[in-house]
Amino acid sequence: MSKPLVSDDLWEAIAPQLPRERPMSKGGRPRWKDRLAVAGIIFVLRSGIRWEMLPRELAAQA
């Protein structure tokens, strides 16, 4: 199994800095889970790919 992009230690440092999720009153696109969004950002930054090229394996977990 591969090493997670967002370790528990890293997540514990990042999570308190994130804003709380607000209720969606008018619908819209469902929000990604915060930890998954951070993992996607880290993947894009490490690999140098464009955001639109994010692998389906990461995007499908949203």
Domain ranges, ordered by start, for the chain: 31-62
- pLDDT of 11-56, one tens digit each? 999 999 999 888 777 777 777 889 988 998 998 999 999 988 888 7
Residue reference for tokens 């990604």: 32
Residue reference for tokens 């967002």: 6
Q: How far is CA 52 from the centre of its chain?
A: 14
pLDDT of residue 9: 95
Q: How far is CA 54 from the centre of its chain?
A: 11
